[in-house]
Amino acid sequence: MKPFKILLTEHIDVNAMKTLEEYCTITQDVNEIDVVDGIIIRAEKVTRDMIAKAKNLKVIGKHGVGYDSIDIKAAKEYGINVVYTPQANIQSVGELIIALAMNMARNVSLSFERGKQDKNKTIAPKELTGYQLSKKTFGIVGAGKISRIAATIAKQGFNMEVLAYDPYISKEECDQLGIQKVDLDLLMTSADFVSISVPLTENTTHLINESKLQLMKPSAILINTSRGGVVDEEALYNALIHKHIYAAASDVFVKEPPTSENKLLSLENFVATPHIGANTHEAMALMGSTVVNEVLLVLRDEKPNYSVL
């Protein structure tokens, strides 16, 4: 008989699943939460009520970086370990930031959609004139590992100047990275591309709001791969429809996945992706193996490598 029981209702990498199955019985039935030793989640939530019902629970594993879907306060109160995979998807998300920047700057998605509707009446239509990335200014809101990957690509690939807003990083560290530490208002005013990469907290909810968007250049592009609530979606819609900024792209939304109910999706100067930042074969494999390993370490009373609690 396998010593541990895990609640897992979402798919993970096949090799990670095989490892998990070697040591654990896996259930997809949330009604069995009272007898599970661990929970592994991707997009699902772990609530206080779930934690209270899980009498045998020892660990919650987050398949990813952001753990705002877990009631951390409740986990702490009940003495539950929370582990995550902070290193596993950083390359994939960093690359997506640049992909979205290029898409919006060159109207790639819009060109395709117009073509499907027979709206492109000539080659190189004037209304699809875009911007080069070369020698522009790239602003990162949050200077963590994901932002640094995007910044490195921007600097080395496009010779861009990088500005960074992050209250938790020193000027000296920014100098070592070859980026300039600035306050948020100066970044919003100066950057041609603004990339958001911060966790969702009380302090970052609607960090990018109407007043911040009004500071941006009319030619500027906003990219959000962090969490939906960091950007005020109503304010962003107004900024885009009134052409206060050139374009925006978001991989994250308050309500996910985004549907036609979200009026941002009706705009030609906006592109939405359904939270695919970490959705590469490489990142999925690494996130899967990491979260399984971390969960098993806790269940064996060993010290995990990536612990939230």
Q: List the CATH number of the domain containing 105.
A: 3.40.50.720
pLDDT tier at 66, thresholds 50, 70, 90: confident
The residues, any chain, with a CB within 8 Å of residue 126's CB and separated by 6 or more, are none
pLDDT, tens only, 136-156: 999 999 999 999 999 999 999
Distance, in Å, from the CA atom of 250 to the CA atom of 222, rounded to the nearest integer, reads 8
Q: What is the pLDDT of residue 257?
A: 95
Q: Are 304 and 81 in contact (CB under 8 A)?
A: yes
Same domain, 107 and 211: yes
Examine residue 307 and state whether it is found in any structural domain, yes or no: no
User: Is 309's pLDDT higher than 90?
Assistant: no
Same domain, 77 and 97: no
Distance, in Å, from the CA atom of 144 to the CA atom of 168, rounded to the nearest integer, reads 9
Distance, in Å, from the CA atom of 300 to the CA atom of 309, rounded to the nearest integer, reads 16
Q: What is the pLDDT of residue 1?
A: 77
Same domain, 163 and 110: yes
Examine residue 308 and state whether it is found in any structural domain, yes or no: no
List the catalytic residues. 227, 256, 275
How does the average pLDDT of the chain come out, rounded? 97
Examine residue 231 and state whether it is found in any structural domain, yes or no: yes
pLDDT, tens only, 18-36: 999 999 999 999 999 999 9
Distance, in Å, from the CA atom of 280 to the CA atom of 220, rounded to the nearest integer, reads 28
pLDDT, tens only, 39-58: 999 989 999 999 999 999 99
Q: Minimal CA–CA distance to 46: which of 20, 84, 13? A: 84
Task: Provide mean pLDDT across the span 166-172.
Answer: 96
What angle, 0 to 180 degrees and rounded to 10, lies between the N-to-C axes of helices 14-23 and 281-299?
10
Examine residue 42 and state whether it is found in any structural domain, yes or no: yes
Instruction: Specify the pTM.
Output: 0.91
Domain with 70, as residue range(s), is 4-88+281-300
The residues, any chain, with a CB within 8 Å of residue 42's CB and separated by 6 or more, are 10, 11, 12, 63, 64
Same domain, 75 and 224: no
Task: Provide mean pLDDT across the span 175-181.
Answer: 96
By CB neighbour count within 10 A (0-12 exposed, 13-18 middle, 19+ buried), where does 128 fall? middle
Same domain, 12 and 131: no
- The residue whose two tokens read 């306050």 is 183
Length of the chain: 309
Same domain, 56 and 109: no
Same domain, 229 and 290: no
Q: What is the largest CA-CA distance in the chain?
A: 68
